Amino acid sequence: MASSSSSSSAVTERRGIPGAQFVEDVQTYLTQLGLDVNSALAFLQERLQQYKVVEMKLLAQQRELQAKIPDIEKCLDVVATLQAKKGTGEELIADFEVSEGIYSRASIEETDSVCLWLGANVMLEYSLEEATALLQKNLDNARASLEVLVADLLFLRDQTTITQVTIARVYNWDVHQRRTQQAAAATTIAQE
Amino acid sequence: MQQGGGSETEVTWEDQQNINKFGRLNNRLHELHDEIKIAKESNDNLEDASNELILTDEEVVRFQIGEVFAHVPKDEVESRIEQMQEATSQKLEKLEEEKQSVVAQMSELKKILYGKFGESINLEED
């Protein structure tokens, strides 16, 4: 919906999320929309619901990324440890989980490469340096995506707040209108 | 956050921006509470680990790297834990500082918004 924003410098949309139009004056807003109060409120409520749906989706994506980042950091740690062991001639002894609750001992000899799980049942062998570079790139990408996501959420929350305030103002305006009309009607009757 | 019925106080774009900012700060405050809790737990765990280390008489300690427990000499483990403690304390300090700043800003905004809207606005946690 193209919003001809009045005087506010509001962004009209961000990455598919429609911006909420700021209402300078309720009467003008209703005339501009060409809707009566109840239809306007229904429209705004629907908008609010749409925002909620998008927020749920973004929050889920955020949780995913927030879990992924420490995982990548752990991987980098392992590769760094293997790299440090290189040249010392020592092997790395580690206890690893064979199955839940069952651990076994492994002796990892000096090595120049590791295998990285790329997803989709694919695992590739990389040299330690290449592995570090790849993991670092993934980490940087994940962090950048998270930043964009957080900015999206901030924008979304602002639009939600604006819409909530607009709903309250339209409702209040309506109440005020009715009261004024009732008062005017009462005065007219009293004068007859 | 609601507004009372029937009042005629006009809401300007500046007011709206203040309300938006308050909302954002409130969200950030909740996030900070959680993050601070996690950082404190992490600090406690490192403290416990460090104490255990002093008590043990083993020369080689099983230290978690990635998903496995590598056999690492005690001294190296000690310095690793110290590093981690350093990092976590700094992070905790930064988080606490940010929290103080957020709380102060929210206080300011409350004054401004209650000042203009009085009973028509509710900025308290429900």
- In tens, the pLDDT along B18-76 reads 999 999 999 999 999 999 999 999 999 999 999 999 998 889 999 999 889 999 999 99
Mean pLDDT in residue range A156-180: 93
Partner residues linked to A119 by β-bridges: A122
Secondary structure (3-state) at B72: strand
pLDDT at residue number A16? 83
Residue B98 has pLDDT above 90, yes or no: yes
Residue A48 lies in a domain: yes
Rg (CA), chain A: 30
Mean predicted lDDT score pLDDT of chain B: 91
ipTM of the complex: 0.82
- The class level of CATH for B14-117 reads mainly alpha
Q: Which is more confidently placed, A3 or B37?
A: B37
CA distance B91 to B98: 11
Task: Convert B65-75 to b/e letters by CB count within 10 Å (16 or more is b).
Answer: bbebbbbbeee
The residue in chain A having the minimum alpha-carbon distance to the alpha carbon of residue B26 is: A157
Mean pLDDT in residue range B4-26: 83
Asked whether the beta carbons of A157 and B19 are under 8 A apart, the reply is: no
Residue A192 lies in a domain: no
Q: Which two tokens stand for residue A19?
A: 């911006």
Flag if B6 and A74 touch (Cβ within 8 Å): no
CA distance B115 to B18: 12
Rg (CA), chain B: 24
Residue B4 has pLDDT above 60, yes or no: no
The residue in chain B having the minimum alpha-carbon distance to the alpha carbon of residue A10 is: B13
Flag if A95 and B8 touch (Cβ within 8 Å): no
The partner residue sitting opposite A154, judged by closest CB among B2, B4, B24, is B24
Partner residues linked to A116 by β-bridges: A124
pLDDT at residue number A186? 86
Instruction: For residue A18, give the nearest of A148, A167, A160 by alpha carbon.
Output: A160
Mean pLDDT in residue range B76-91: 95
Residue A11 lies in a domain: no
Spell out the domain ranges in chain B: 14-117
The partner residue sitting opposite B62, judged by closest CB among A92, A95, A171, is A95
Mean pLDDT in residue range A138-165: 96
All residues of chain A having their beta carbon less than 8 Å from the beta carbon of residue B5 are 171-172, 175
Q: Which two tokens stand for residue A10?
A: 């509001």
CATH of the domain at A167: 1.10.287.370
Instruction: For residue A166, give the nearest of B114, B11, B116, B119 by alpha carbon.
Output: B11
If you count residue pairs, one on A and one on B, with CB atoms under 8 Å apart, how many are there?
74
Among left, alpha and beta (phi > 0; psi -120 to 50; other), residue B99 is alpha
Number of domains composing chain A: 1
Flag if A157 and B13 touch (Cβ within 8 Å): no
Residue A7 lies in a domain: no
pLDDT at residue number B8? 61
All residues of chain A having their beta carbon less than 8 Å from the beta carbon of residue B20 are 157-158, 161-162
All residues of chain B having their beta carbon less than 8 Å from the beta carbon of residue A8 are 13, 16
Flag if B19 and A161 touch (Cβ within 8 Å): yes
Flag if A175 and B5 touch (Cβ within 8 Å): yes
Q: How confident is the model at residue A73 (pLDDT cuts 50, 70, 90)?
A: very high
Domain span at residue A169 reads: 23-181
Proportion of chain A above pLDDT 70, given as a percent: 94
Residue A77 lies in a domain: yes
Residue A153 lies in a domain: yes
